[in-house]
């Protein structure tokens, strides 16, 4: 029993697995990776989100901006059935405000904010040798998060079309307009 508990601890606390994958040529470079889902721990290809407008957000459970989860979930539910998804990437880069395990983060998000949008295991957003490939790509836009809850609007072709600092809420008219514009373009 002790051995299985120890193994569970090691599995849950291990660094997230990021898989480069052979993706179809039609899959934008941004999406040519797989990340472990927060809720299940299973690797999921981001290619499943091709041809969708994405709002990519670095999230944290113990941040002053954490209540934005409510607005992000509301946005996800409002846009259900449209070519849109919020994607959450927990990060402990800023103020150590995401210290939990994948299981703890998933439980917090579900129980506190009933989060249903896709969430992935913790990533490094800052420019570093262990920076997540998704943030390496997003950083090519000239912007990297300066704090938790920074937001990127990515169009259906996989290009960053807008960046919003942490203080911009999911309800902000400028953010909503950027999403609507990306949805309207083909």
Active site residues: 63
How many helices and strands in the chain, by DSSP H and E?
5, 7
Return the sign of the alpha-carbon dihedral for residues 38, 42, 45, 49: negative
Q: d(Cα 15, Cα 123) in Å, to the nearest integer?
A: 9
Burial class (CB in 10 A: 0-12, 13-18, 19+), 58: buried
> What does the alpha-carbon distance between residue 140 and residue 171 come to, in Å, rounded to a whole number?
26
Cβ atoms 163, 141 nearer than 8 A: yes
Give Cβ neighbours of residue 102 (< 8 Å, ≥ 6 apart). 12, 16, 36, 38, 41, 121, 122
User: Whole-angstrom Cα distance, residue 157 to residue 162?
Assistant: 14
């Amino acid at each position: 029993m002790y051995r299985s508990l120890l193994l569970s601890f090691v599995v849950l606390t291990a660094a997230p697995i990021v898989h480069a994958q052979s993706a179809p040529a039609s899959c934008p470079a941004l999406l040519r990776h797989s990340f472990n889902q927060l809720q299940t721990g299973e690797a999921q290809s981001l290619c499943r989100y091709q041809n969708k407008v994405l709002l990519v957000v670095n999230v944290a459970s113990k941040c002053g901006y954490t209540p934005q989860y409510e607005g992000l979930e509301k946005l996800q539910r409002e846009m259900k059935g449209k070519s849109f998804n919020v994607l959450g990437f927990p990060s402990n880069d800023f103020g150590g405000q995401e210290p939990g395990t994948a299981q703890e983060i998933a439980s917090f998000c579900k129980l506190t904010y009933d989060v249903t949008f896709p969430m992935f295991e913790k990533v490094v957003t800052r420019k570093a040798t262990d920076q997540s490939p998704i943030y390496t790509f997003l950083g090519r836009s000239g912007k990297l998060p300066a704090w938790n809850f920074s937001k990127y609007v990515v169009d259906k072709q996989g290009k960053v079309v807008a960046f919003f600092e942490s203080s911009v809420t999911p309800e902000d008219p400028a953010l909503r307009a950027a999403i609507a514009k990306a949805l309207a373009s083909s």
